[in-house]
A and B are shown apart, each in its own frame.
Chain A
Amino acid sequence: MIHNRRLATANIGVAVGAFGIATFMALMQALSRASLDLPWRSAQMYYLSVTGHGVLMALVFTTFFIMGMGVAFTTRALERPLRLSGLAWLGFWLAVVGTAAATWAILSGEASVLYTFYPPMQAHPAFYIGLTLVVVGSWLWSISTIVTYLSWRRDNPGKVVPLAVHGILATIIVWLLATVGVAAEMLFQLIPWSLGLKETVDPLLARMLFWYFGHPLVYFWLIPAYVAWYTIAPREAGGKLFSDPLARMVFALFIILSAPVGFHHQFMDPGISSGWKMLHTFTTFGILFPSFVTAFTVTASFEVAARMRGADGLFNWIKKLPWGNPMVAAVLLSMIMFAIGGIGGSINAAFGMNAVVHNTAWIQGHFHLTVGTATALTFMGVAYWLVPKLVGRDLELVLLAKVQPYLWFLGMFVFSISNHATGLMGMPRRVFEASYGGSAVAAQWEGLTLISALGGVLLFISASFFLLVMLGTVLAGRRAEQPVIQFAEPLEGEPKRLLIFDRIWVWVVLAVVLVALAYAYPLADHLGMGAIGSPGFKPF
């Protein structure tokens, strides 16, 4: 059974709520970029909305969903309730209060600094303090999960930890390592500076700390999606996990490779020498490897599922997959989109080539395939499967749930491809509109921004379906006994022997060493540079 059901439900509830608000903002933004006039459209409103959408989707929706999913998976797989569940509840409430404070600051127009909040643009202190509370809340959940795992380990010496928990632990380690950076930025720079206790901040140091956090952040989003791909989807599709040890290798590699890569977001920055940027290029390409392995293992697991359902041809197994199961469809479509997103990502990370796409619409096209689909659509699929089990009700409006992943796929395809294209044509990202005073160059983007707006409308409809299904299930779903969570069995049986990938501490130590190698010298070099800080500005 799932223990701490209420905690898991509360976390997922906040996640879905944040997703709902952010969805409305997204629709307005997509229409605005195409210069389609709406009653309350203004530049100020647009940048406020981009901030809200980014914070609520990328930081709030993801973090709460991962906490909720983490609680459900950990307690089920370890067959015990959370240790220190009071602490996890405290974490939940801290994160809720933090979200409320940051949302208030954004909606009151005092924090239109976007979700990357680069200084010296300065937001209301409530924005920084609120986001810090979200992170602190997630730390309390992390501690509770780790202590639960340790108590299981004490009771089961020498036993191999269930794969789902291995993945959740990898998520937590990546997160703890990453958030050190953003916590330092918040506590030593942004919070005292916004409160007036500090005159100036060094914007480049802030960017280094932010991106030290910002790239492992994407693996914090991605690893839980992989957990669902490896441990849930194969079984839902009627099959088994193709390779358990390789899944463990993938999670272990994410622990060590997630963090020492942040400079690939700063290729175009002054003040960082090209040698360090090159080093981070190497580590960034290293992190493609675990995703390549995942593509094989999960696809092979689906093939196993289809063959267990009676497929026998070279390709006809694809047809035999349960494409009408919303959870399985969400995962399959996420994987296809993630493959495209991965190719785009390797272009972003390609050192010199980055100059062609940096800060263009290409980037928003890219990350809506990765976090906006691989993660978000997978989470929606997980929600269709998990929420009924949490609330003890049947999934309501099943037809909408079946259609929704396809509509998301279509909308995202239209949205993302058009943004990739305008990006290559030089259109910047995050612009209220893109006419540049009637510039002939900018006029070439017009048709494509309309197509992107159409994609936004399709995505909005899809998101509304998801919200309706969630509301319908929780409020009106038929109360009925739900099947318990069952994780996919490995094709070769449950692992008996601990592998090197199970020795989490080895990977934690390696990760810390790699971070030190990648960051210690550039950071020390930077602090000795004698950079002069900037006072705050509020041009919004």
Chain B
Amino acid sequence: MHVDLYERLWMWAAGAIIVLFLGAIGFATVIQGRVPPSHVETIDPQSVFTDPRFSEPGVTANPDGSVEVNMIAQIWIFRPNEIRVPAGRPVTFRMTSPDVIHGFQIVGTNSNTMVVPGYVSQFTTTFDDPGEYLIVCNEYCGTNHHNMSATLIVEEGT
């Protein structure tokens, strides 16, 4: 099969670009540890409010200085609705839904996860900049989806 010289070069270049992209992604994944939230844990969606893992949503400080936030995303609110965490410390978010699928996104950061009933979403992040952040639901969850939001306050580290 005859392939024009320029097209042959182009195909090699295209292959090289793809390899380069994948190399960059590999670097970000392996060296920088940027892995999407992929926690595997199930829960009965019909007993979220009585399940010990989520019966008291809120912020817990661990002895080692890390922080855990347990949240419920439900039609059309986040529980708790206002969260205070310290800057510069690892914060682990854990959340689930008792009804439909929701999304959790902290605007201005790369914190983003789906919240799927029957599963527990979990990811850990650190906030460097103190201030007030807007949390929005980014997966359509019904007529008031666009009003489903919460506030994250990152406080000066102590």
Q: Which residues of A line the B interface, CB within 8 A?
A: 43-44, 47, 50, 112, 114, 118, 120-121, 202-204, 207, 242-243, 245-246, 266-274, 277-278, 281-282, 285-286, 288-289, 292-293, 296-297, 300, 346, 350-356, 358-360, 425-434, 436-437, 439, 441-442, 492, 499, 529-535, 537, 539-540
- Supply 4 further A-B pairs (C-beta < 8 A) apart from A271-B40, A529-B42: A270-B114, A273-B38, A531-B42, A537-B75
Given contacts A118-B101, A246-B3, A532-B45, contact A433 B29 (CB under 8 A): no
Q: What residues of chain A lie closer than 8 Å to B15, measured between beta carbons?
A: 289
- The verdict on B103 contacting chain A, using a C-beta distance below 8 Å, is yes
Contacting residues, chain A, for B38 (C-beta < 8 A): 269-270, 272-274, 277
| Chain B residues near A118 (CB-CB < 8 A) | 100-101, 139
Contact of A351 with B112 at beta-carbon distance under 8 Å, contacts A272-B38, A359-B103, A539-B141 already known: no
- For chains A and B in complex, what number of residue pairs have CB atoms within 8 angstroms? 225
Q: Which residues of B82-141 have CB atoms within 8 Å of chain A's CB atoms? A: 99-101, 103, 105, 107-108, 110-122, 133-134, 136-141
A44 to B143 alpha-carbon distance, docked (Å): 6
Let me know if A539 and B25 touch, CB within 8 A: no
Instruction: Establish whether residues B111 and A492, one from each chain, have CB atoms under 8 Å apart when the complex forms.
Output: no
Considering only CB atoms and an 8 Å cut-off, how many residues of chain B contact the other chain?
A: 69
Instruction: List 6 tightest A-B contacts by C-beta distance, closest first.
Output: A539-B142, A352-B34, A426-B107, A292-B14, A359-B138, A428-B138
Chain B residues with CB under 8 A of A293: 7, 10-11, 14
Q: Which of B38, B99, B149 has the most CB of A within 10 A?
A: B38
Rounded to whole Å, the gap between the CB of A427 and the closest CB of chain B is: 8
Which residues of B line the A interface, CB within 8 A? Answer: 1-4, 6-7, 10-11, 14-15, 17-18, 21-22, 24-25, 28-29, 32, 34-46, 75-76, 99-101, 103, 105, 107-108, 110-122, 133-134, 136-147, 149
Contact partner of B28 among A207, A277, A346, A351, CB < 8 A? Answer: A351
Known A47-B143, A492-B2; contact A243-B7, beta-carbon cutoff 8 A = yes
CB distance from A217 to the nearest CB of B (A): 19
With A359-B105, A360-B105, A534-B45 in contact, is A352–B39 under 8 Å at CB?
A: no
Interface centre among A43, A296, A359, A499 (most CB of B within 10 A): A359
Are the C-beta atoms of B14 and A289 separated by less than 8 Å? Answer: yes
Q: Would you call A437 and B100 a contact (CB within 8 A)?
A: no
